[in-house]
A and B are shown apart, each in its own frame.
Chain A
Amino acid sequence: MKTNRILLGLATLTLLSCHKSAVIKSTLCCARDRAAITATTPSPAVGNNSVYQLTGSWTDQHEKQLTLSKLQGHPQIVAMIFTHCAFVCPRVVEKMKAIRDSLPAAVRNQVGGVLVSFDPDRDTPAQLRSYATQRQLDDHWELLKGNSDQVRELSMVLNVKYQKLSGGSFSHTGNIYILDGNGNIVQSVDGLGGSIGSAVSTLNRLASR
């Protein structure tokens, strides 16, 4: 803690001296390793690290109720978005599609895409359905809405940061998460920049198990 405080103090000085918007290297904030979550040992059943331990019931774009554990059995490409997002979310979704489209057909058909909404108020199943159509997301995609507690809990598990803004939109981080068939987070990739190569090879590897 002491070292952290010294580092924080330095960051404070940086902030105060430049009089610009806050620039803090996230590594200063905590001595913990914030590197991408690494692969966990695959287990035959839902493992202890599985996101599918969350028990909340979600509603999808077809008004079907499901728990996340219903996604078990297939690798999934997951992100949290809201459909009124004009800039970031469409790019994240396009990147998820590009990852999936780069897989050989036999693998691709085994891999699902999951979009979870930050915005339970506006993202009704009908809205999610129309978003799926607009973004050309086929039956391999689940678009989910839950209540705000579920959204908070899932964001905590995935380490997504978000804040609801006045006016109804959201400020949020935009990583894409690769889940194995048991719901373990195997990889997290930048939703905007960077190549899709490593996510594609991860999914190929998961499919060959």
Chain B
Amino acid sequence: MKTVSTLLMMICTLIPLKHYGEMPAVHRGMPARNAAMVSIPGGSYRPFLHRKDQPAAVKIHPFSLDVNAVTNGEFLDFVKANPKWARSKISPLFADAGYLKQWTGDFEIGDDKIINSPVTNVSWFAADAYARWKGKRLPTQAEWEYAAAAAPVGMQKGARLTRIILAWYDHPNPVILPPVQSTYKNAYGLYDMHGLIWEWVEDFNSVIIQGNSGTNADSFSCAAGSLGSVNKEDYAAFMRFAFREGLQARYAINGLGFRCARDLNRFD
């Protein structure tokens, strides 16, 4: 935690507070041009969907994760450097027709107000390519869920993160997505893990929700274990898993963005 707070202090010092006046006092941090990362300590994670023939907890190795979701501005840099990922150039194998539809052109975001907002309408392929370009990778589902489970800093005693998340799920998407760091910071120093967008994970296609009938071959498994969820009261996690189950890697969806992760080496 000490490292985390040190990092955050560095971030706060380094970043000019450009639109400071417009931001509520509790959200005064501004997005970094070069996404800062924080180290997430290892631990164990109990998957929401748990097969009865598998261990209840998954070991999470220490890793680092972007403090913010990748913004439109950052993604524009990637597209400029890799024009084959431009809207008019991208192969339909790698993104559907909604790809970057909030932009006005191949290399123009158009609306200045969304430069620092999370980039959405990006396919898994595009998110994966961006992460690799940065020398990073997408977080695994287990890593993301583990990091996102941390409580908001200053959360009121007795409050439950699940409630906060569900209240957000209940709201319609805003027409103009707010900038990163406009919701809350969690105990790891990560912003907006819930409350702003949904995020791609590297292995979203590992979610296989098995029907009881067993006749649907789109959904069977080799080892004959059945699924039972760990915490049936966690509607919020249920919704994320159900959402991931319905995704395909080429989908570009409004409200679905990403952030990047990296392995920690022994020198970190």
Interface residues in chain A, defined as those with a beta carbon under 8 Å from any beta carbon in chain B:
1-2, 4-5, 8-9, 11-12, 15-16, 19-24, 26, 28-30, 32, 34, 48-51, 53, 82, 85-89, 152-153, 155-157, 159-167, 169-175, 190-194
Residue B6 is within 8 A (CB to CB) of chain A in the complex: no
Closest-by-CB residue of A relative to B169 is A5
Partner-A contacts on B (CB < 8 A): 49, 51, 53-55, 91-94, 124-125, 128, 169-170, 172-173, 202-203, 205-212, 215, 217-229, 232, 235, 238-239, 242-243, 245-249, 251, 254-255
Q: Are B205 and A161 in contact (CB-based, < 8 A)?
A: yes
Residue from the list A8, A32, A48 in contact with B251, Cβ < 8 A: A32
Asked whether B205 lies within 8 Å of A156 as measured between CB atoms, the reply is yes
Known A48-B92, A165-B51; contact A193-B217, beta-carbon cutoff 8 A: yes
Cβ contact within 8 Å between A49 and B93: yes
> Which single member of A32, A156, A170, A173 contacts B124 (CB below 8 Å)?
A156
Q: Which of B219, B238, B239, B254 contacts A173 (CB under 8 A)? A: B219
Instruction: Please give 18 more A-B residue pairs, beta carbons under 8 A apart, in addition to A1-B173, A21-B227.
Output: A1-B172, A8-B238, A12-B235, A22-B227, A24-B242, A32-B248, A159-B248, A159-B249, A161-B205, A161-B208, A162-B205, A163-B203, A165-B53, A171-B225, A173-B208, A173-B218, A173-B220, A192-B217
Q: Is the CB of A26 within 8 A of B209?
A: yes
Q: Is the CB of B92 within 8 A of A21?
A: no
Q: Would B246 and A15 count as touching, CB distance under 8 A?
A: no
Q: Are A11 and B224 in contact (CB under 8 A)?
A: no
Of B173, B228, B246, most A-chain CB atoms within 10 Å: B246
Do A32 and B208 touch across chains, with their CB atoms under 8 A apart?
A: no
Q: Nearest Cβ in chain B — how far from A15, in angstroms?
A: 7
Cross-chain contact B55 with A50 (CB below 8 angstroms): no
Per the bound structure, the CA–CA distance linking A50 and B220 in Å amounts to 27
* Complex interface: chain A residues within 8 A of B235 (CB): 9, 12
Given that A1-B172, A29-B246 are contacting pairs, would A89 and B54 also be in contact in the complex, using a CB cutoff of 8 Å?
no
Chain A residues, CB < 8 A from B169: 5
Question: Which 5 residue pairs of A and B lie closest in terms of their CB atoms, listed nearest first?
Answer: A29-B246, A30-B246, A156-B249, A171-B221, A163-B206
Determine if A5 and B55 form an interchain contact, defined as CB atoms under 8 angstroms apart: no
Q: Is the CB of A8 within 8 A of B55?
A: no
Query: Is there an interface contact between B219 and A21, defined as CB atoms closer than 8 Å?
Result: no
The winner among A1, A9, A49, A53 for most chain B CB atoms within 10 A is A1
Q: Are B239 and A175 in contact (CB under 8 A)?
A: no
Q: Which of B125, B224, B242 contacts A8 (CB 8 A)?
A: B242
Taking the closest CB of chain B, its distance from the CB of A137, in whole angstroms, is 19
Give A174's nearest chain B residue, CB to CB: B217
- Our pick among B128, B220, B238, B246 for the contact of A192 (Cβ within 8 Å) is B220
Cβ–Cβ contact B238 & A15, under 8 A: yes
**Given A12-B235, A152-B203, A190-B217 in contact, is the A172-B208 Cβ separation under 8 Å?**
yes
A185's closest neighbor in chain B, by CB? B93
B232 adjacent to A26 (CB under 8 Å): no
Q: Which residues on B sit within 8 Å (CB–CB) of A29?
A: 242-243, 245-247
A12 vs B240: C-alpha distance when bound (angstroms): 11
Instruction: State the CA gap A18–B235 with chains docked (Å).
Output: 15
B232 to chain A, nearest CB (A): 6
Closest to B243 in A: A29
Bound complex: CA A48 to CA B96 (Å) = 12
Chain B residues within an 8 Å CB radius of A11: 242
Q: How far is the CB of B173 from chain A (nearest CB, A)?
A: 6
Known interface pairs A1-B255, A11-B242; A24-B209 also in contact (CB < 8 Å): yes
In the bound complex, do residue A171 and residue B51 qualify as a contact, i.e. CB atoms below 8 Å apart?
yes
Specify which chain A residues have a CB less than 8 angstroms from the CB of B51 in the assembled complex: 165, 171
